[in-house]
A and B are shown apart, each in its own frame.
Chain A
Amino acid sequence: MTSPAPIAEPRETPRPDPAAVPALSIDGVSHSYGPRRALMDVSFKVQPASFTALLGLNGAGKSTLFSLVTRLFGIQSGGVGIFGHDISSSSGEALRLLGVVFQPRTLDLDLSLTQNLLYHAALHGIGRREATTRSAELLGRIGLSERAGSKVRDLSGGQMRRLEIARALLHRPRLLLLDEPTVGLDVKARADIISHVRQLVTEQGIGVLWATHLFDEIMSSDDLVVLHQGKVLAQGPMSRVITDAGAQDVNTAFMRLTGAQTMPGGGA
């Protein structure tokens, strides 16, 4: 993270150094559903080869943010860039570099693992032969090679998630978005997925934005963005966020940060 300024400080707008274009830059994004404001002037960056945790309770605006970054919703105000490509004006180039794992499962349960992957490859214009090679390779990496032909329905929750991550990597994106990917998984499956994704960051230099409300998924070396009721309350390396909040751990820091903003009874 270059200059992780707290949101209260005036935001500087540095000329993006072409060598260090952020993987994802969210710039002053606001979004409302009718009268309800879901996001208010949200700004942060995800650097390549970094693990950024987007921490927020349910309803903080995480999913809305994901829908904006993936072009599902139109940007109402502000801007979203993926490696410098604006999601509104050059969405094709931007989405090419983006892999995403949505919170609800989006696999075809009646199709086989390979079929699911091939469909995704086709959506990215990857020809059949190349797609078959890549699917086999990715299935091997997530340890599901021998299940390639079976229906997704027969997989466990953790295996489905791993498959979804593999699918998101099929077109070789350089930014990976995961929206609460470990919800509903047991301890082991959770640990597997977290370590798998962290491996992607260190080994392949993929920038990861990991939305979660589970504090134990974050490590001290991670960048942290605390989103609460549509606003960014703090951002920066985790250790700094904790110190700035005058807390000992991320849990307390989060409670302190959101406590001032939370309506009585509306908190965690």
Chain B
Amino acid sequence: MSSITTSDAPRGFSASEYMTCLTGIVWREGLRFLHQRERFVSALVRPLVWLFIFAAGFRQVLGISIIPPYETYILYEVFIAPGLMAMIQLFNGMQSSLSMVYDREMGNMRTLLVSPLPRGFLLFCKLLAGTAVSLLQVYAFLLIAWFWDITPPLSGYLTVLPALILSGLMLGSLGMLISSGIKQLENFAGVMNFVIFPMFFASSALYPVWRVQEGSPYLYYLCAANPFTHAVELIRFALYGQVNWISLAVVAACTIVFMIGAILAYDPSRGWRGADLREAKDEGSDPGCHGNCAVLHGRARPIRAILTGPTPRPRCRRFRWRPSGPARRSTRPRSR
């Protein structure tokens, strides 16, 4: 062990220390991901349901004319594939960010944040690690989609990578910013209703925006202003080896703004007291309960009761209450 000689002069951190830290965080996130097969499967099933069922049913309804980057008439499945790739990243970004802010990952966040490196850098690494996980999911989706006749040029698989990294970072930091900033959105149901669905539907993921414009100019403006639209378009063009410069600019700018905002707004004492109460009764993190379940653990709030109806059933032992008695609805005293 080291001697007790003091070298108290501040020595800062070298670039290699930063790099070691970054790769270490991404490496760990990757390892954890490999151990969470349910999370992987559910992340894949969601877009595949859209692809196999929704798109198959919808292709007769919606004709797609030839719009860039496509050079021929395309099937509806081909059109929505980039939107679904972005959707994977949207869900992943929201889930991992929410668990960073709220209690489930608090133990891991403590370990992370006592690192001597600057906190902003640590959070950036964590966002990048979340993005790396979303890349694995997206490429797995692309692999399956290939058998479903979604066959972009082979080079597209490579050119789409930078676009995916940027959009993943944007969505992850947006998730972190939202979960730090809006107290009511501390459970995943709230985020689904107020963030994921509006962003997804008011975008070019499912329909080209020019068709939206024919129907409702206001919705068109909304779509055009939605950063998610630009993430989708960035991915769509990149998948065919092209750059949509406007989307690139919007996504890059949003990434920077969201990330700075998220880092400034991040406050570990948030969701902390609840976490301490729970963790005090817990023996480490729960084996059967991973990222997906994580976000369901927010304390029940009136807003969730109103919006999502019945509360989700307990899925792991960290859930301290369970529905009981004949009246299934009420699990906690309503009076406030």
- Cα of A98 to Cα of B239 in the assembled complex, Å: 47
A33 contacts B28, CB within 8 Å? no
B276 contacts A63, CB within 8 Å? yes
Residue of chain A at shortest CB distance from B1:
A204
- Cα of A104 to Cα of B17 in the assembled complex, Å: 28
A109/B114 contact (C-beta < 8 A), A63-B276, A122-B20, A125-B16 known: no
> Is residue B21 within 8 Å, beta carbon to beta carbon, of the partner chain?
yes
- B residues contacting A by CB (< 8 A) are 1-2, 4, 6, 8, 10-14, 16-18, 20-21, 23-25, 27-28, 31-32, 35-36, 106-108, 110-119, 122, 268-269, 272-273, 276, 279-280, 282-285, 287
> Is residue A147 within 8 Å, beta carbon to beta carbon, of the partner chain?
no
Instruction: Give the residue among A67, A119, A184, A204 with the most B Cβ atoms within 10 A.
Output: A119
- Cα of A234 to Cα of B14 in the assembled complex, Å: 43
A108/B24 contact (C-beta < 8 A), A125-B18, A157-B283, A172-B2 known: no
Question: Which residues of A47-77 are within 8 A (CB) of B?
Answer: 48-49, 63, 67, 70-73
Interchain nearest-CB distance for B107 vs A (Å): 4
* Majority SS at the chain B contact face: helix
Interchain nearest-CB distance for B47 vs A (Å): 25
Residue of chain B at shortest CB distance from A118:
B24
A125/B13 contact (C-beta < 8 A), A33-B273, A204-B1 known: yes
> Is residue A110 within 8 Å, beta carbon to beta carbon, of the partner chain?
yes
Partner of B285, one of A71, A84, A109, A126: A109
CB<8 Å pairs between A and B, sample of 24: A48-B4, A71-B113, A71-B114, A84-B8, A85-B8, A92-B12, A92-B116, A96-B116, A98-B114, A104-B280, A105-B284, A106-B111, A119-B27, A122-B23, A123-B24, A123-B112, A123-B115, A125-B13, A125-B16, A125-B116, A126-B20, A172-B2, A174-B4, A204-B1
B114 contacts A70, CB within 8 Å? yes
Give 6 nearest A-B pairs by CB, closest first.
A122-B24, A125-B17, A104-B279, A95-B116, A123-B115, A106-B107
Point out the residues of chain A lying under 8 angstroms from B6, CB to CB: 21, 83
- Cα of A172 to Cα of B5 in the assembled complex, Å: 12
- Cα of A127 to Cα of B18 in the assembled complex, Å: 10
Q: What 1/0 mask marks residues of chain A from 126 to 143 whose CB sits below 8 Å from any chain B CB?
A: 111000000000000000
Residue of chain A at shortest CB distance from B18:
A125
B114 contacts A100, CB within 8 Å? yes
Partner of B24, one of A95, A119, A174: A119
B114 contacts A73, CB within 8 Å? no
Residue of chain A at shortest CB distance from B112:
A123
Given contacts A110-B32, A125-B116, 5 further A-B contacts (CB under 8 A): A67-B268, A67-B269, A85-B8, A122-B24, A122-B27
- Cα of A160 to Cα of B28 in the assembled complex, Å: 19
Point out the residues of chain A lying under 8 angstroms from B8, CB to CB: 21, 83-85, 93
- Cα of A94 to Cα of B6 in the assembled complex, Å: 13
Question: Which residues of A142-158 are within 8 A (CB) of B?
Answer: 153, 157
> Is residue A196 within 8 Å, beta carbon to beta carbon, of the partner chain?
no
- A residues contacting B by CB (< 8 A) are 21, 33, 48-49, 63, 67, 70-73, 83-85, 90-96, 98, 100, 102-111, 115, 118-128, 153, 157, 160, 169, 172, 174, 184, 204-205
Partner of A73, one of B35, B111, B268: B268
Point out the residues of chain B lying under 8 angstroms from A106, CB to CB: 107-108, 110-111
A72 contacts B284, CB within 8 Å? no
A72 contacts B24, CB within 8 Å? no
Point out the residues of chain A lying under 8 angstroms from B27, CB to CB: 119, 122
A104/B114 contact (C-beta < 8 A), A123-B21, A153-B287, A157-B283 known: no
Partner of B110, one of A72, A118, A126, A160: A72
B114 contacts A72, CB within 8 Å? yes
Point out the residues of chain A lying under 8 angstroms from B4, CB to CB: 48-49, 174, 204-205
Residue of chain A at shortest CB distance from B6:
A83
- Cα of A205 to Cα of B110 in the assembled complex, Å: 26
Point out the residues of chain A lying under 8 angstroms from B18, CB to CB: 125
A119/B28 contact (C-beta < 8 A), A83-B6, A124-B116, A205-B4 known: yes
Instruction: Give the residue among A49, A90, A104 with the most B Cβ atoms within 10 A.
Output: A104
A123 contacts B117, CB within 8 Å? yes
Point out the residues of chain B lying under 8 angstroms from A122, CB to CB: 20-21, 23-25, 27-28
B112 contacts A104, CB within 8 Å? no
Point out the residues of chain B lying under 8 angstroms from A115, CB to CB: 28, 31
Instruction: Give the residue among B32, B107, B114, B273 with the most A Cβ atoms within 10 A.
Output: B114
A95 contacts B108, CB within 8 Å? no
Point out the residues of chain B lying under 8 angstroms from A153, CB to CB: 287
B287 contacts A109, CB within 8 Å? yes
Interchain nearest-CB distance for B7 vs A (Å): 10
Instruction: Give the residue among B1, B16, B116 with the most A Cβ atoms within 10 A.
Output: B116
Residue of chain A at shortest CB distance from B115:
A123
Point out the residues of chain B lying under 8 angstroms from A102, CB to CB: 107, 110
Instruction: Give the residue among A21, A105, A111, A125 with the most B Cβ atoms within 10 A.
Output: A125
Partner of B117, one of A63, A83, A92, A205: A92
- Cα of A94 to Cα of B117 in the assembled complex, Å: 11
A93/B116 contact (C-beta < 8 A), A72-B268, A123-B111 known: yes
A160 contacts B284, CB within 8 Å? yes
A108/B114 contact (C-beta < 8 A), A48-B4, A125-B18, A174-B4 known: no
Residue of chain A at shortest CB distance from B19:
A125
Point out the residues of chain B lying under 8 angstroms from A110, CB to CB: 31-32, 35-36
